[in-house]
Chain A
C-alpha cells in the first residue's frame, strides 16, 4: 500500500513538473531565439554559415480552387532564392478564422511574423498595437517601388501618412454573365448591361427557364455589395460610406437609401433575382451550374469559374448608374510587433518577394485576383495569360473606378451593424430607410469613443 501511494504521488508530481516544464521550455526557446538572432545581426557581413531566420506566415483563402498550393510553392521558391530565411506558411482558413488566430496570437504575444489579413483590419490592428509601419523598410529598399502598385490598392494600406501593409491578395467586384443564356434570351452576348436600367431589363429578360436573371450575395460581407451600389449611385464620384480616417460612417444618406432600394427592387419589384438573403458561397456554384445568368462576385473567383463553367462566360464591370464603381477587397501583407528586428526584416523581404511583378503575375493568373502592380501586366507570363483569357483584365481596368472598402475603427461592430441591417432589409423585415438609419445609429455608437 505504501509503495503504491508513493508511486502515485510521484507520478502526479511528474505530471505537474511536465506541465510546468512546458511553460519553461517555451520561455527558453524564445530567449535563445532572441539571443541567436542578435549575434547573427552583428556578424551579418561575415560569410560564415549562420542559422537561417525562421518566420511564420499566416494566410487565408477565401475563394474556390487550390490556392494553398500556389502560395506554398511561392514560399518554397522564395526559400530557394533566400537560403538565409526559412518561411513557414500556415493556411488558416477563411479571412474570419485567420483574423481570430492572429488576434489570439497577438494577445499571447506570439503573433505570426507576417500575415495576409483583410485590408479593412488596419484600424483594429493599430488599435491593438499589433503591427509595425513599413516606411523605414521601404525607404531603405530601392527594389520596392511603391508607385508601381495601383493607387486604389495603396489607399487602404495607409493611415496618417504611414504605410502599414503591402497589397497582395486583392480584388474588385465584377459581373460574370453566361453568354449562352444571353443568346437564348435574345440578347447580344458581347454586350453586357452597362447601366442600372439595362441591368434591370436584361435580368428580367434572363429570369426564366428555372434560372435567375441575376444574383447578388447578401450575407457575410453584404456591405461590400452595398458599397458598390452606393458609389455607383452617388452624385459626388468620390463619395464613400465612411470617412477616410475611419472615424465616421455615412450610411443613411438619401442616396444610399436609394441604392439599397435598388438592390431590394431587383428581387421584389422587378423579379429578376431570388428574394431574401443570397449566400456568398453558393452564388458562384449557382452560376457555374447555370442557376443564374449573371452574378456580382469577387474577381478572385475568376479561375474557379473558368475551370468549372461548362459554357462560355463573359466578365464585365458591374453596371453604372451615375458612374462605374467597385470597392476593392481582399488582403494585404502585414508585419507584426513583438518580433525580433531580424524576423521583421526577413518578413519584409518575404512580403516584398510575394508582391514582386513575377509573383504578382503568377498569383493573379492562378487565382483571378488582380495583379497588384502595373508591371505585373508587362511580364511575359501575364501577357500570355491575358491574351488567352482577356476576361482577366476586367478587374484591373476597373481599378480606375475602384475605391476603399469599408474600413473604420471598431470595424467588427460597424460592419456587423450595416451587414445585419442590409440582411434585415433583404429579408423584408425593415425598409431601406429604416435599415440604414438603424445601422447609422449603431455605427455612431461604436465609433463614439474614437471621436472624443
Chain B
C-alpha cells in the first residue's frame, strides 16, 4: 500500500526535523564558506585591488609559479611522511602495552593519552620551552650531542624534525585509544585457539591482531594524514613558519596570506587546493583501501 501524502510528510518531516539543526550549521559553517572560497579564488582581491577583480584561473596559474607555495607544499608532504607512520606504529605498540599491561593499566593508559588533554596552545608553549636554547631539555640534549649550543627551532635543518617529534608525541596517544578499542573488539577465543595450537605471541600479533585492527589503521591513517595538513596552532606559537619558510605548512601559509598579506584571492585559491587534497585523502577510505580490509 502506498502511504498517503500526509503520512509521507509526517515521516520525512520527522527525519528532516532531526537533521535540520546540524544541516543548518553544516551549511552555514562548511558548505557556504567552501563555495565562497571557490568563488573568491576566481577573483583578484588584495591591498592593491580592494574591489574584487575577476581573473578566472589566473590565481591557480600564479600558484604554480609561487616558490613559497611549492616549498610549503613539499614541507607538508615531508611532515606527513615524518609523522603519520611513526605515530601509527607507536600508537599500535602503546595500545598493545596498555591492553596487556597487568599492573598499572590505568596509569599507562593515562600516561599515553594525556598529551591530548592539554590544549594545543599550551602544548606549543611547553615544547617551545623544551626547545629553547640554553634552557630547554631537548635543546640541552641536542647541544650535548652537537657539542655546541643548538637552536633547534631557529635552524632550517632541524626545525622540521623538532616539529615532527612534537607532533608524534601528541598524536600517538590519541591514536592509541582507537587501537585499544579495536583490540578489545577482537574475540579472546581467537588468541586462545592460537595458543592451544602452539602459535607464539609474536605470530599471534602478526596473524590476528594486525589484520583485525586494519579498519582502525585505515581510519587512524586518514585522520593522521589530514591532521598533518591541518596543523597551524603550533606553528603560530613556535616558529611562525620560519626560519625562511622551512617550517611553513599549508594551512599556516593560507593564514599568513589572508591576514598578513591581505591577499584574499590567493588565499582562497590555496584553500580550494587544500580542500581538494583533503577530499582526495579521505575518499581513499571509501573507494580504495576500504575494500581490501577485513571486517568482522
- Residues of A whose CB lies within 8 Å of any CB of B are 1-2, 4-5, 8-9, 11-12, 15-16, 19, 96, 99-100, 103-104, 124, 127-129, 218-220, 274, 276-279, 282, 285-286, 289, 291, 409-410, 412-413, 416, 419-421, 423-424, 426-427, 429, 449-450
- Residues of B whose CB lies within 8 Å of any CB of A are 10, 13-14, 17-18, 20-21, 24, 28, 46-50, 132-135, 149, 151, 153-156, 239-240, 242-245, 256, 259-263
A5-B13, A276-B154 given; A416·B243 CB < 8 A: no
B47 touches A127 (CB 8 A): yes
13 contacts between A and B (CB under 8 A): A4-B14, A12-B21, A15-B21, A19-B28, A99-B259, A104-B259, A219-B240, A410-B46, A412-B256, A412-B261, A416-B256, A420-B243, A424-B244
Cα–Cα, bound, A218→B155 (Å): 11
Question: Could you say which residues of chain A place their CB within 8 Å of the CB of B153?
Answer: 279
Minimal Cβ-Cβ distance residue in A for B25 = A19
Q: Which 6 A-B pairs have the closest CB atoms?
A: A449-B48, A277-B154, A423-B243, A5-B14, A424-B244, A8-B17
**Which residue of the partner chain, among A99, A274, A424, contacts B243 with CB atoms under 8 Å?**
A424
A429 touches B156 (CB 8 A): yes
A219 touches B154 (CB 8 A): yes
Cα–Cα, bound, A31→B199 (Å): 78
B47 touches A286 (CB 8 A): no
Cα–Cα, bound, A449→B262 (Å): 14
Question: Could you say which residues of chain B place their CB within 8 Å of the CB of A219?
Answer: 154, 239-240, 242-243
Cα–Cα, bound, A103→B259 (Å): 7
Cα–Cα, bound, A427→B247 (Å): 13
Cα–Cα, bound, A100→B47 (Å): 15
Cα–Cα, bound, A421→B13 (Å): 61
**Which residue of the partner chain, among A15, A282, A289, A410, contacts B261 with CB atoms under 8 Å?**
A410
A416 touches B262 (CB 8 A): no
Question: Could you say which residues of chain B place their CB within 8 Å of the CB of A427?
Answer: 154-156, 243-244
Question: Could you say which residues of chain B place their CB within 8 Å of the CB of A2?
Answer: 10
**Which residue of the partner chain, among B154, B240, B244, B260, contacts A429 with CB atoms under 8 Å?**
B244
Minimal Cβ-Cβ distance residue in A for B259 = A100
A286 touches B244 (CB 8 A): no
Minimal Cβ-Cβ distance residue in A for B47 = A127
**Which residue of the partner chain, among B13, B155, B263, contacts A276 with CB atoms under 8 Å?**
B155
Question: Could you say which residues of chain B place their CB within 8 Å of the CB of A15?
Answer: 20-21, 24
B261 touches A416 (CB 8 A): yes
Question: Could you say which residues of chain B place their CB within 8 Å of the CB of A8?
Answer: 14, 17-18
A5-B14, A423-B242 given; A128·B262 CB < 8 A: yes
Q: How far is the CB of A277 from the nearest CB of chain B, in Å?
A: 4
A16 touches B24 (CB 8 A): yes
A412 touches B155 (CB 8 A): no
Question: Could you say which residues of chain B place their CB within 8 Å of the CB of A291?
Answer: 134
Question: Could you say which residues of chain B place their CB within 8 Å of the CB of A99?
Answer: 259
Cα–Cα, bound, A434→B243 (Å): 16
Minimal Cβ-Cβ distance residue in A for B157 = A427
A279 touches B154 (CB 8 A): yes
Minimal Cβ-Cβ distance residue in A for B24 = A16
Cα–Cα, bound, A413→B46 (Å): 11
Q: How far is the CB of B157 from the nearest CB of chain A, in Å?
A: 8
B50 touches A12 (CB 8 A): no
Cα–Cα, bound, A450→B46 (Å): 12
A12 touches B259 (CB 8 A): no
A220-B240, A424-B243 given; A129·B259 CB < 8 A: no
**Which residue of the partner chain, among A129, A218, A286, A421, contacts B154 with CB atoms under 8 Å?**
A218
Minimal Cβ-Cβ distance residue in A for B12 = A5
A127 touches B50 (CB 8 A): yes
B154 touches A278 (CB 8 A): yes
Cα–Cα, bound, A218→B259 (Å): 22
Question: Could you say which residues of chain A place their CB within 8 Å of the CB of B244?
Answer: 420-421, 423-424, 427, 429
Q: How far is the CB of A377 from the nearest CB of chain B, in Å?
A: 36
**Which residue of the partner chain, among A12, A100, A274, contacts B149 with CB atoms under 8 Å?**
A274
**Which residue of the partner chain, among B17, B149, B256, contacts A9 with CB atoms under 8 Å?**
B17
A410-B47, A421-B244, A424-B156 given; A5·B134 CB < 8 A: no
Minimal Cβ-Cβ distance residue in A for B238 = A279
B155 touches A124 (CB 8 A): no
**Which residue of the partner chain, among A128, A285, A419, A420, contacts B47 with CB atoms under 8 Å?**
A128
Question: Could you say which residues of chain A place their CB within 8 Å of the CB of B28?
Answer: 19
A5-B14, A124-B47, A127-B48 given; A426·B243 CB < 8 A: yes
Interface centre among B153, B154, B261, B262 (most CB of A within 10 A): B154
A450 touches B154 (CB 8 A): no
Q: How far is the CB of A1 from the nearest CB of chain B, in Å?
A: 8
Cα–Cα, bound, A283→B72 (Å): 28
Cα–Cα, bound, A218→B239 (Å): 12
**Which residue of the partner chain, among B20, B47, B151, contacts A277 with CB atoms under 8 Å?**
B151
Q: How far is the CB of A198 from the nearest CB of chain B, in Å?
A: 25
A12-B21, A427-B244 given; A416·B260 CB < 8 A: yes
Cα–Cα, bound, A451→B73 (Å): 31
Question: Could you say which residues of chain A place their CB within 8 Å of the CB of B262?
Answer: 103, 124, 127-128, 412
A276 touches B260 (CB 8 A): no
Question: Could you say which residues of chain A place their CB within 8 Å of the CB of B20?
Answer: 12, 15-16
Given contacts A285-B135, A291-B134, A420-B243, 18 further A-B contacts (CB under 8 A): A12-B20, A124-B47, A124-B262, A127-B48, A128-B50, A218-B154, A218-B243, A276-B155, A279-B153, A289-B134, A289-B135, A410-B46, A413-B261, A416-B260, A419-B242, A423-B243, A426-B243, A427-B244
Question: Could you say which residues of chain B place their CB within 8 Å of the CB of A278?
Answer: 133, 151, 154
**Which residue of the partner chain, among A96, A127, A277, A286, contacts B242 with CB atoms under 8 Å?**
A277
Question: Could you say which residues of chain A place their CB within 8 Å of the CB of B263?
Answer: 413
Cα–Cα, bound, A77→B155 (Å): 47
Q: How far is the CB of B222 from the nearest CB of chain A, in Å?
A: 31
Minimal Cβ-Cβ distance residue in A for B245 = A420
**Which residue of the partner chain, among B10, B149, B156, contacts A5 with CB atoms under 8 Å?**
B10
**Which residue of the partner chain, among B14, B50, B132, B243, contacts A129 with CB atoms under 8 Å?**
B50
Question: Could you say which residues of chain B place their CB within 8 Å of the CB of A100?
Answer: 259
Question: Could you say which residues of chain B place their CB within 8 Å of the CB of A426?
Answer: 243
A409 touches B47 (CB 8 A): yes
Question: Could you say which residues of chain A place their CB within 8 Å of the CB of B24?
Answer: 15-16, 19
Question: Could you say which residues of chain A place their CB within 8 Å of the CB of B133?
Answer: 274, 278-279, 282
A286 touches B134 (CB 8 A): yes
Interface centre among A100, A277, A423 (most CB of B within 10 A): A277
